[in-house]
Amino acid sequence: MQRLIDAFYNSVRAFRKLAASEKAFQQELMLLVLALPLGWFVSTSWRGYALLIGAVLLLIMVEVLNTGIEAACDAFSREFNVDIQLAKDCGSLAVLISVVIVAGVWGIAIIERITGLPI
């Protein structure tokens, strides 16, 4: 049980640090704040709502992992290294893919809501 309590405190510490200093994380938190009520009006079911919010949470999770990769790389070396550049670029690509997923899920939900046809 102590391990779970420690993990929770570590997570809260990371959340606070990212919320205070990382612009991308702050923007994605604002997106979540907007998505929570907006998703209610866009979705046509509870499952749809869960999918819309889950997509945004996925984006936030990938951003957190990307930030962790960048922090680990910077702790190792701040000098240019082709392998470090690849690690950071891959993290950035993962965020981009997550953005595409969010846009696709929300786009389909909006089209479904406007047309009234299940897609």
54 is a domain residue:
yes
Evaluate if residue 39 carries a pLDDT over 70: yes
Whether residue 93 is contained in a domain is answered as yes
Residue 63 a catalytic site member: yes
Structure tokens at 17: 């640090």
Q: What CATH number is associated with residue 75?
A: 1.10.287.3610
Asked, for residue 4, whether it belongs to a domain, the answer is no
pLDDT-derived band at 9, boundaries 50, 70, 90: very high
pLDDT of res. 15: 98
User: Other CB atoms closer than 10 Å to residue 56's CB: what's the count?
Assistant: 23
Q: Is residue 102 part of a domain?
A: yes
pLDDT of residue 78: 87
* The pLDDT of residue 119: 67
Mean pLDDT value across the chain: 96
Does 63 count as an annotated binding residue?
A: yes
Q: What is the pTM of this model?
A: 0.92
Catalytic-role residue among 63, 66, 98, 109: 63
**Ligand-binding site membership of 79 (annotated):** no
Would the annotation count 83 as a binding residue?
Answer: no
Task: Looking at the chain, list the stretches that DSSP marks H as alpha helix, in order from N- to C-terminal side.
Answer: 2-21, 23-42, 46-76, 82-115
In a domain, 46, yes or no: yes
Q: Which domain holds residue 78?
A: 26-118
Q: 99: exposed, middle or buried (C-beta count within 10 Å: 0-12, 13-18, 19+)?
A: middle
Residue 79 lies in a domain: yes
CB atoms within 10 A of CB 28: 25
2 assigned to some structural domain: no
pLDDT score for 64? 98
- Per the structure, the count of domains in the chain is 1
